[in-house]
Amino acid sequence: MQKAENNPIEEGKNSPTKEGKIAHIVEGEKAPFAEDRKTPFTEDKKAPARSARKFPTWVDLFATVGIFVLSSLVGSLLAIVIMKLRGTESLTPDLTLLYYLVQMLPPIAYIVWLRRKAQRPSALHFGVRRVNLPILLWGVAVLLASSVVLEPLLLLFPKEEYQNVTDMVGLGGWAILSVVVCAPILEEILFRGLIFESCRERFGSGAAVLISALLFGLVHGVPVQIINAFVVGLIFGYIYLRTGSLLSVIILHAINNGIAYISLAFFGDAADTTLRDLIGPDWLYWTIYGLSAVVFVYAMVRLVLNLRNETELE
């Protein structure tokens, strides 16, 4: 009887031929040369260990805050030196912008470096086509409602520190560039871009919203701004989750800051006047407050439900 032809794959299972090694890999067995040579059928067993580094760790996040504080000190010293050279004693709007850039760029660069080190893809999703006008309008409504709801709480804190911040920013073209252009872009890149996406990859969407909002609040420094910025950060995080677009939250951030700047420019010291002082009749104030509370609570409930859905998908 004529001997049947040898099947190279079957034969390879018991031979050291290249075909046999490939068969071992296809069947899930470890090929003899898997440790020594990379082929299209094998992966470097050490590569996953390097790329799977836990990122961000809590040390990474605290280090980011530390770099922010350190760069703030450097920005302050630089501004003081320039003021001395100019012979002035007050911080001008152009120096405020310089201080802000020195403050923000190092922590952004640090997170970018950490992501590259951890072999992570870009976390900046601007999503021009995902900008949604109805969601932006809803975001503006929630921001206005939150400012009304938080007002009684924020009145418990002294106004002097917040007044110092507004005096430092000032008015004019440099102030607009700082508050309405640079702040929305750089802060959203850092908090809703780099920090949010890094935390979402590690901890999930819910933790990403909370951590990015908390850090967003803490870096504002002044107690009044910490509370307000934390709530605003939650709203921005919700809008970012809904749209997947950094451009959406940058626009919303610019609108929020623009409203604050316009009120300061047109009303001056009266910009700090509370809604309670502006509205005389108690019934009208409490009606507006009640409607604002409904919108705010509804938005927070939607945020929680959205995060629950995201968590289930993850």
CB of 216 closer than 8 Å to CB of 227 = no
Domain boundary assignment for the chain: 1-36, 56-120, 125-160+185-314
Q: What angle do CA 130, 133, 136 make, to 5 degrees?
A: 95
pLDDT one-digit tens code per residue, 100-129: 999 999 999 999 999 999 888 888 999 888
Written in H, E and C, the secondary structure of the chain is CCCCCCCHHHHHCCCCCHHHHHHHHHCCCCCCCCCCCCCCCCCCCCHHHHHCCCCCCHHHHHHHHHHHHHHHHHHHHHHHHHHHHHCCCCCCHHHHHHHHHHHHHHHHHHHHHHHHHCCCCCCCCCCHHHCCHHHHHHHHHHHHHHHHHHHHHHCCCCCHHHHHHHHHHCCCHHHHHHHHHHHHHHHHHHHHHHHHHHHHHHHCHHHHHHHHHHHHHHCCCCHHHHHHHHHHHHHHHHHHHHHCCHHHHHHHHHHHHHHHHHHHHHHHHHHHCCHHHHCCCHHHHHHHHHHHHHHHHHHHHHHHHHHHHHHHHC
Q: What's the chain's average pLDDT?
A: 80
CB of 150 closer than 8 Å to CB of 227 = yes
CA distances from residue 288 to 31, 156, 188, 274, 275 in whole angstroms, order as listed: 72, 21, 30, 13, 10
Confidence (pLDDT) at 30 = 42
Band (146; pLDDT cuts 50, 70, 90): very high
Has residue 32 got a pLDDT over 50? no
Confidence (pLDDT) at 24 = 43
Band (47; pLDDT cuts 50, 70, 90): very low
Has residue 214 got a pLDDT over 70? yes
Has residue 23 got a pLDDT over 70? no
Percent of the chain with pLDDT strictly greater than 70: 76
Has residue 52 got a pLDDT over 60? no
- Which residue did the predictor score with more confidence, 171 or 41? 171
CB of 238 closer than 8 Å to CB of 126 = no
